[in-house]
């Protein structure tokens, strides 16, 4: 896992709020940024992604449908990371924290986690005895 920092950038180009995240690769970190762009899409928000002194390109220029698809993919595969980041944005004290869509996405993510936790196990039940193995 590599360490990244996502920044909210104000209209003057100043970094206003950093959020640290761990990801396996640049593309995984970018996917989380794109998912958050969708989650906050009712607000004018600019984000940047950095790994140390290296700026990760590819944050901007995605269509709304691509951002939505990325959020849905994160919801399917990385729910906990998505929820942690959504809640961090919601508690950031920035204008993004007032995003109605962000609150809706947080509820969607929580429901997805609850529904996953309610699914019955697909593993067979252990009967309590194992066959004896003889040499």
Tell me which residue range forms the domain holding 41: 2-115
pTM: 0.80
Kindly compute the dihedral angle of the four CA atoms of residues 12, 57, 80, 52, in this order, to the nearest 10 degrees.
-80
User: Which has more confidence, 126 or 17?
Assistant: 17
Question: Is it the case that residue 33 has pLDDT exceeding 70?
Answer: yes
Higher per-residue pLDDT: 32 or 117: 32
What pLDDT score was predicted for residue 130? 39
Strands of 52-96, DSSP E: 54-55
Asked if the structure places residue 129 within a domain, the reply is: no
- pLDDT value for 126: 39
Tell me if 14 is assigned to some domain: yes
Domains in the chain, number: 1
pLDDT (tens digit, 9 = 90+) per residue, 35-94? 999 999 999 889 999 999 999 999 988 889 999 999 999 999 999 999 999 999 999 999
Q: Compute CA distances 36 → 96, 129, 133, 135, whole Å.
A: 10, 49, 54, 58
Q: What is the pLDDT of residue 16?
A: 87
- The mean pLDDT value for 119-133 works out to 46
For Cα atoms 45, 92, 1, give the angle at the middle one, nearest 5 degrees: 85
Q: Would you say residue 124 has pLDDT above 60?
A: no
Is position 134 within any domain? no
User: Residue 94: inside a domain, yes or no?
Assistant: yes
Residue 37 in domain: yes
Task: With respect to residue 120, please indicate whether it lies within any of the assigned structural domains.
Answer: no
- Whether 19 is covered by a domain: the verdict is yes
Residue 64 lies in a domain: yes
pLDDT beyond 70 at 20? yes
């Amino acid at each position: 896992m590599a360490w990244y920092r996502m920044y909210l950038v104000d209209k003057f180009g100043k970094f206003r709020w950093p959020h640290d995240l761990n990801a396996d690769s640049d593309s995984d970190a970018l996917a989380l940024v794109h998912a958050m762009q969708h989650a906050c899409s009712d607000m004018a928000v600019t984000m940047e992604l950095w790994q140390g002194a290296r700026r990760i390109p590819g944050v901007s220029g995605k269509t709304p449908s691509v951002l939505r698809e990325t959020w849905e993919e994160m919801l399917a595969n990385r729910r906990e990371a998505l929820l942690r980041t959504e809640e961090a944005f919601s508690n950031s004290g920035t204008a993004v924290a007032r995003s109605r869509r962000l609150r809706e996405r947080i509820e969607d993510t929580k429901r997805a986690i609850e529904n996953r936790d309610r699914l019955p196990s697909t593993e067979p039940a252990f009967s309590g005895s194992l066959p004896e193995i003889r040499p």
